[in-house]
Structure 1
């Protein structure tokens, strides 16, 4: 019980150390540019105070879908949810400590089979079952905002949950943030991968970021 409690406390502290937008977050608008090889697409995004969002003025439907997916990622990772709401039905057990000092957290209960690694009060590895596949994310560097950490450089890889077969290649991410007003906003995401054995880079750039006016109560 003591080990389980300490594993829960270790993971809870890292979970609560993530940077999230607070209840006063007003939302914002930005111009977006998507660059894939020689192809460049532009448009506009808006993320609202309730973290709903919209993507407009993108001429190409596939490009709009790609931008939509990234904006969803941005919004969903800034949501502030209480630990018990997200993980209250899970149990936690300490696993191995790797040479870097990262402590493995093994999950049981509702999310049995998931696992994490925590180092320096940050989650540096995520291994989760999502929609029939296991996604594994290794974080290599972070940004200290003074109000929690943001992932800066990380990768992701997918495996079939039944066969263990790797699905697609490894994607390497680098995220850039700027503090605008009281809030840290992503201004760039570079994704490096391979397509048909050749290196490929996808760049999302967000500029002209403007916070929305808070809704009067």
Structure 2
């Protein structure tokens, strides 16, 4: 298979498995999504979803979280890890949204990336899932799968992002990003598949898969 043929197969198969993938982080609007994605850094989506109800009860708008005591924010989000840093970022970005964006999350990648605690991947997730702008957020998990499936040789997530954008049609990016995440969690995990076990790995690289030999007495 060529790289493009592998990409075409991935697109078709993931479309069959996950035709309408849901956003795994619970949220109500662009702001609560932004906060949830920020919290998900080095943390599972399950844990974030356990924490955000209490956080959003404290405040679910930039005005409310900008006014909330920093120690209360940090105490609530402590289970997500990096509590002090994330709490400071949430409070500061809430204030910036009030001061510079009329209390709204900007639909601009550049403006999002200037917010405290918001990196390129987080900004792309918000652009894709809150505003429907074609984006291809690549985290370490998507980076790993893209390499495993022979879709990139990039040594960084940014290079992988560029390679994936060249291989897949633009209208598929937002959906495909989620589909790859779900497949990686359910079928092609870091420890559960070594590049030979899951269906997509076996199809993309059949020579890697060595069938178990049947011995005859």
Shorter-normalised TM range:
under 0.3
The alignment's TM-score, normalised by the length of structure 1, stands at 0.27
Using the size of structure 2 for normalisation, the TM-score is 0.27
Structure of greater Rg:
2
- Structure having the larger proportion of residues in strand: 1
